[in-house]
Amino acid sequence: MENEQPKADIITDTDRLDFLDRCNQRLNERYGTDYRWKLILNHNVNRLMLGHLAVDLNDMSPHSRGLPSCRDAIDAKLKESRAALSAMQKESGK
């Protein structure tokens, strides 16, 4: 029983990261791009980015537009994505 929560956490984190990679793969397939991940960590911002920019041009977004945890941010997008997929499936009768 003790080991169940850490295993569940690992599975959840794996799902989060796989989701991000699938999103990037679909973006690249759709637009013929080759965007890669870049983690920006400096005295101003911590951000996971896609693209070729050497500088994060969006580091002045207000505090209210973000979430305190990267996991929370990923989970919010996962929830949004799953809701959109569910709506599309209902529309198409699947």
- With 0.75 as the threshold, say if the pTM is over it: no
Ordered per-residue pLDDT tens for the chain, 94 residues: 667 888 999 999 999 989 988 888 898 899 998 888 877 777 887 777 776 555 556 655 555 666 666 777 788 888 988 999 999 999 998 6
The domain spans of the chain are 4-92
Task: State the DSSP string of the chain.
Answer: -TTHHHHHHHHHHHHHHHHHHHHHHHHHHHHT----EEEEESSS-EEEEESS-SS-TTTT--GGGS-SSHHHHHHHHHHHHHHHHHHHHHHHT-
